[in-house]
Amino acid sequence: MNVSEIEPQAVDTAITRSAIFLVATLTPGNEHRDTVRALCGDLAGLVRSVGKRVPSGNLSCVLGFGATAWGVLFGAPCPASLHPFREIGTGERVAVATPGDILLHIRAEQMDLCFELAAQVMKRLGAAVTVVDEVQGFRYFDMRSIIGFVDGTENPSGREVAKFTLVGNEDPPFVGGSYVLVQKYLHDMTGWNALSTADQENIIGRTKLSDIELDASVKPSCSHSALTTLDKDGQEVKILRDNMPFGRPGAGEFGTYFIGYARSPAPIEEMLENMFIGKPPGNYDRLLDYSRAVTGGLFFVPSATFLDGLG
């Protein structure tokens, strides 16, 4: 097929107010494999059916697969850089790897659309999967993360998005696909809120109210912004993030669901190494003194054309 005819999944979608993140494991057995493959082929139709009821709701769904599940569901070839998520860090700071074969990233302007699509998809999947993590995320005021800073400012835009997120000719069978890494973080908000605004700004590397990047002369090399800015041969390498706050205030739970899309897992893993181990080692991200990763997984998002072909 001509590369220009390949349609990616809805990786690059307008920012929405709501999202559901679902991670599930696959039940062994051919009938379960066939159920998941059938859903892949019907997913676009399901999104159309649910989404049509509220055209302004901007409903979308991205479906990703872990390394082990890929072989079971689709056989060879496997996306060139897909591998099980490797834990990064030691001791108190670990980017943990947790079970997960299938990721659903459902986004819409309103939660009822996300909820209805998730319900329809789960009805189809039935016993073929076991959900191991399910998070409902919400947009928090003016794009704030739960820790009070604007999140997503330095995302790529325009043509950069496809350049940084879509597989190209480096892996011909998987052109138009993406890699996606997810992590669920829980925050110590009491500790975070006890810091002065200036201390918080030094940790993030940006001002809190106005979201302006700190000047290079004062921005600490251990700031989140410094450690996640990657430079390859004089060119910045970006990833596309659509993190969402979540939580249960009554239970004291305050979280960030991190989701990063990229053309290869390498830049996201390098950012995690910089954050958890430090650059140089020891110069780690102080945001992690107040944030703990409780899940972690790497998935491949094949093109929509690939999914449709399974129908």
Token code pair at residue 154: 């330095």
Which residues within the stretch 41-80 sit at the binding site for ligand HEM (CB under 6 A)?
none
Of 12, 101, 133, 151, catalytic: 151
Q: Measured from the CB of residue 260, what is the shortest distance to ligand HEM in angstroms?
A: 5
Angle, helices 30-51 vs 111-125, to 10°: value is 150
- 9 is a contact residue toward ligand HEM (CB under 6 A): no
Amino acid identity at 11: V
Cβ closest to ligand HEM, residue 123 vs residue 248: 248
Please list, in sequence order, all residues whose beta carbon lies within 8 angstroms of the beta carbon of residue 21, skipping any fewer than 6 positions away.
Answer: 103, 104, 105, 106, 133, 134, 135, 137, 182, 184, 244, 257, 259
String of DSSP letters for 187-224: E-HHHHHHS-HHHHHHHHTB-TTT-PBPPTTTS-TTSH
**137 touches ligand HEM (CB under 6 A):** no
Residues 219-278 binding ligand HEM (CB under 6 A) are 224-225, 228-229, 239, 241, 256, 258, 260, 268, 271-272
**Residue 221, exposed/middle/buried by CB under 10 A (0-12, 13-18, 19+)?**
exposed
**Cβ 217 to ligand HEM shortest distance, Å:** 16
Could you say whether residue 81 binds ligand HEM (CB under 6 A)?
no
Q: Kindly state the number of chain residues that form the binding site for ligand HEM, as judged by CB under 6 A.
A: 26
Using CB under 6 A as the binding rule, whether residue 151 contacts ligand HEM is answered as yes
Least CB distance to ligand HEM at residue 192 (A): 10
Q: How far is the CB of 228 from ligand HEM (least distance, A)?
A: 4
Is-contact 283 203, C-beta < 8 A?
no
| Residue 151 annotated in active site | yes
Q: Applying CB under 6 A, which residues contact ligand HEM?
A: 145, 147, 149-154, 183, 185, 204, 206, 224-225, 228-229, 239, 241, 256, 258, 260, 268, 271-272, 287, 291
Which positions are catalytic?
A: 151
